[in-house]
Amino acid sequence: MIKVAVNGYGTIGKRVASAILAQPDMSLIGVSKTSPNYEAYQAQKMGMSLYVTKESAKEFEEAGIKVKGVLEDMIREADVVVDATPNGVGAQYKQIYSSMGKRALFQGGEKANVADVSFSALCNYDEAVDKKFVRVVSCNTTGLLRTLCTLNKMSKITKVRGTIVRRAADPKEVKKGPINSLIPDPASIPSHHAKDVNTVLKDLDIVTMAVIAPTTLMHVHMLDITVSTSVTREDVLSVMKSTPRILLASSKSKVGSTAEIVEVARDMGRNRNDLYELIIFEDSISVKGNEVFLMYAVHQESIVVPENIDAIRAVSGFSDGRKSMEITNTSMGIRTGYLV
């Protein structure tokens, strides 16, 4: 059993913790939290061990939340720490993980140089095997890489031009906007997503542009991918249909928007209506000469969760990436083929 600690119990941390509990080969030492909010109460109710910083212990006690120990106690017990602290904070914790001799995963909000390798399971599982520090790329980059590494198997990609319509805030957030605006983010080109893809696919010619839209459910990407050989729409459909962690939203099912995709997740009984899969709008898959066009939606809260699980195995020395993904997919109910 791989003993895992989750440092940070927010949007990503709580999902990774739930996913760890579902793995046959992992155990959850506990989760750490900095403030005794509703998520801390919920973690306690679910029977997770809570660890806090020394400074916040009293606050938790006053809130009636039982604490198992301080952060360092949790890290000491673990083989691997999943850092799910806010953007940029992970780098500050690296020193602690390192001094305690622990392997650690960081999230995409950290700079790439925080880790030995940036990770996307379908692209470069092998590179992460036995590494000390691995960074799981962000939700948007995970969406891009999952698509590109899948297509790359069919025909070598020579150029990618993409635009990203980003969700403004997560559903739980109450302080972010916009409410009624479109914000180029950044206005400069390329957006950081292209550079982040290059941390994994190092020599790829990729340019991305991004805009924020007032919605909370999912991101949408629109890609124009140039490949080195002539392919057909059927080739693309076929590879997408048979790749795990990718689902197709068919027009037949009348799923034509992010709202309807999330409604399907709710109807499917998914925890927190999470969608670990990339959701490609089937009708959007088009081919013109050597260019493949497509549009897909990315569930920003959960798409990186299975990637974290695989990365835990990789840093622990589990060398069979395909097998790791199979275990992750089975344990989490992650599907292949059509959404509906």
218 binds its own copies (CB under 8 A): yes
For its own copies, give the closer residue by CB, 207 or 237.
207
Which residues are identified as catalytic? 139
Find the binder of its own copies among 214, 253, 290, 335 (CB under 8 A): 214
For its own copies, give the closer residue by CB, 115 or 206.
206
202 binds its own copies (CB under 8 A): no
For its own copies, give the closer residue by CB, 297 or 304.
297
For its own copies, give the closer residue by CB, 154 or 183.
183
272 binds its own copies (CB under 8 A): no
Q: Are 338 and 280 in contact (CB under 8 A)?
A: no
293 binds its own copies (CB under 8 A): yes
Find the binder of its own copies among 115, 220, 236, 334 (CB under 8 A): 220
260 binds its own copies (CB under 8 A): yes
Q: Is 138 annotated as a binding residue?
A: yes
Q: Which residues bind its own copies (CB under 8 A)?
A: 161, 163, 165, 167, 178, 180-184, 186-190, 207, 209, 211, 213-218, 220, 222, 224, 251, 256-260, 281-284, 286, 288, 291, 293-295, 297
